[in-house]
Chain A
Amino acid sequence: MPNHTDLAAADLSSADLFDTDLHGDAGAVPPGLAPLLAAAAAPPSAAELAGERAAVAAFAAVTRAPTAIRPRRVLVRRGALVAAAALGLVGISGAAAAAGALPDGPQDVARTTLTKLGIEVPAGKGLATAPGQLKADGAAKPVKPAKAAPPAKGKSKPAEGAEPKGPSAVTKGATISDLAHDDSYGGAEKGAVISAAASDGKSHAGEDHPTPAKPDAAGPPAESPAAAAPGRATAAAAKPDAGPPTAP
């Protein structure tokens, strides 16, 4: 290994060492060094440029190479477009399925598929649906979707409290839904009406009960506008399964 100690330790503090500044911010050039630096930066000799043809050939090869790559880029772009289109189609179909706007067949397929993903989608219009799956603002007793029988199997147990599957079940669900949205009923009265409809008249909600419910079980009567009607608020409160009274 060569010894550079002397060179590296050259004292540059003596400003009188430099007499010219050929390179701007480079600092001054020591006297007698300018010719050497000029020789180092001299224009190229013919020998130094002898490799021009080979260099240009290499450049031509490099510039031609990207042409071969272009088809791959085009393929990638096309693939991205197809993927985006497919994604858009799935999104539109999903939205349509969620709105129940698809024809019966596709709607049922979408429902079967999306239910597995935990997304609730209405069934096709021709498909029998367990009443528990129809939500009517809490008027109908909610049933977990897992308990609902897939329509294709047909051997599943009906949901608890549900009527046998068929058009009548759909009609009842729709009726309950209508009742729940009907503003002409108020508070406990609406609960009683819905309860009666859901139980095919078996419910006694809204009727005078032989044993009055305890005041604390009925909740604060003052908060219920229906409390003025004797017995109704009590009956509704005594049978909470009928659903919470809805304020008019």
Chain B
Amino acid sequence: MRSVGVDDSWPQLVRRVQGGDERAFAVLWRRHHAALVRYLEIVGGRDQAEDLASDTWISVARALPRFQGSETGFKSLLFTTARSRLIDGARRAQARPQVIRSLDGIAEPSDDQDPASGIERAEATRAALTLIARLPRGQAEVVALRVVAGLDNGEVALIVGRSNGAVRVAYSRGLAALAELVDRPDRGTAARVTDPTSLTFR
């Protein structure tokens, strides 16, 4: 079997994944997993992000045989599924008390070739995610989907179930608020999603 590399075209990659090629799936996973976990961290908190991401990948793997579309379409599927898992997780969490830990954790150690730069970069990423997570939830989600997942307004609008205009406004406000947070980090904090109904725009 020919090995699958990152240079494989999207249709080829999808066909291989749909045929059960584990190496092709690994390529797919490596391309999108980090963005998925970061999105889940920003919107739902770090505690459950990895678990929700795993659930999301399993659901997506089940849906993949029927999937047809571009890589952007796949990202829409991935993040829409993640959002559903997030809401389901919040519903389950409502039934049991839990302590929401802060996102302000220590950066994960990295196995990069240059450990120092890797840690530095990971810390920068962690700090950025922490800051975005402090935005109001609607804005934080839109910023995460726009910046971290790399989706455009229309795709984000489909995922969050809002109009393009609402998404554009939320993104602009999110960026403005983020700029203010960078300047004055003591202002404003946002809670994670513990209420499934909170994933709505106000």
Contacts and interface: CB of A to CB of B under 8 A. Distances in A.
Contacts of B124: 35, 39, 42
A52 B202 contact: no
A116 B188 CA distance: 81
Contacts of A12: 169, 172-173, 176
Interface in A1-23: 1-4, 6-8, 10-12, 17-18, 23
A56 B26 contact: yes
Interface string A163-207: 000000000000000000000000000000000000000000000
Interface string A42-81: 1111111101101110111011101000000000000000
Interface string A25-49: 1110111110111011111111111
A118 interface: no
Q: Is the interface of B mostly helix, strand, loop or mixed?
A: helix
B61 A58 contact: yes
What class of interface size applies to chain B in its complex with A? 35 or more
B202 A55 contact: no
6 contacts: A1-B191, A10-B173, A41-B150, A42-B124, A48-B37, A59-B22
Interface of B: 20, 22, 25-26, 29-30, 33-35, 37-38, 50, 54, 57-58, 61-62, 65, 108-112, 118, 121-122, 124-125, 127-129, 131-132, 135-136, 139, 144, 146-148, 150, 152-153, 168-169, 171-173, 175-183, 187-191, 202
